[in-house]
């Protein structure tokens, strides 16, 4: 608040009190300081709108200020920007990151699928003798197929649960 226009005010007893700065408008400051508005040195001017989400009004205001500065020849000395510009830039970055993460997820899912299928194929080749014994005991092909589908399902569920637990722990440790 040290850079805001203001005056030290006198307390009720007539004594000057410390650190009772008052925030006032620029025209009122110019009136009290007996200055013109152009004589007040400014480094930054922040404008708060009643409707900060109204993009048309923000664009109109930015264009009007830019045109006014251009007419007076001061356009090169000032920079005009709005928080909407920053929000648009950050939302573009967020959507780009989201697309990258979606691609990584798809690649990971393909890797998991092929890992599971190669694991199950290798498991079937290793258990050829076990399958022959089950067939000799009277199990048909459908029952053996169901058995291996259940095994694959249990592997997927256990891996998913482990991944969720590990991911939650890592995410929690990173965030705190």
User: Which segment, 39-43, 76-80, 92-96, 166-170, is predicted with the most confidence on average?
Assistant: 166-170
How far lies 99's CA from each of 96, 132, 160, in Å?
Answer: 5, 48, 23
Q: Are 66 and 75 in contact (CB under 8 A)?
A: yes
Q: Concatenated DSSP letters for 131-162?
A: HHHHHHTT--HHHHHHHHHHHHHHHHHHHHHH
**Which region, left, alpha or beta, applies to residue 62 given φ > 0 means left and ψ of -120 to 50 means alpha?**
alpha
Classify residue 40 by its DSSP letter: S
pTM: 0.45
Q: From the CB of residue 148, how many other CB atoms can be counted at a distance below 10 Å?
A: 14
Residue 2 is predicted with a pLDDT of 45
Give the tens place of pLDDT for each residue, 108-154: 999 988 887 888 888 888 888 888 898 899 999 999 889 888 988 89
Give the tens place of pLDDT for each residue, 72-99: 888 888 888 877 777 877 888 888 999 9
**Burial of residue 115, with CB atoms counted within 10 A of its CB: 0-12 exposed, 13-18 middle, 19 or more buried:** exposed
- Gap between the Cα atoms of 106 and 171, Å rounded: 21
| Residue extents of the structural domains in the chain | 1-43, 94-175
């Amino acid at each position: 608040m040290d850079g805001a226009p203001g005056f030290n005010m006198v307390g009720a007893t007539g004594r000057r009190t410390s650190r009772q700065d008052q925030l006032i408008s620029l025209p009122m400051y110019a009136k009290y300081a007996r200055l013109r508005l152009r004589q007040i040195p400014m480094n930054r001017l922040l404008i708060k709108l009643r409707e900060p989400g109204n993009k048309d009004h923000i664009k109109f205001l930015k264009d009007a200020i830019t045109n006014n500065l251009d007419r007076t020849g001061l356009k090169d000395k000032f920079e005009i920007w709005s928080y909407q510009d920053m929000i648009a830039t950050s939302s573009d970055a967020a959507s780009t990151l989201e697309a990258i993460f979606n691609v990584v997820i798809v690649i990971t899912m393909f890797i998991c699928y092929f890992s599971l299928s190669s694991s199950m194929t290798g498991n079937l080749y290793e258990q050829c003798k076990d399958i022959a014994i089950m067939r000799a005991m009277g199990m048909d092909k459908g029952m053996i197929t169901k058995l291996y589908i259940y095994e694959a399902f249990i592997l997927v569920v256990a891996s998913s649960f482990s991944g969720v637990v590990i991911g939650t722990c890592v995410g929690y440790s990173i965030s705190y």
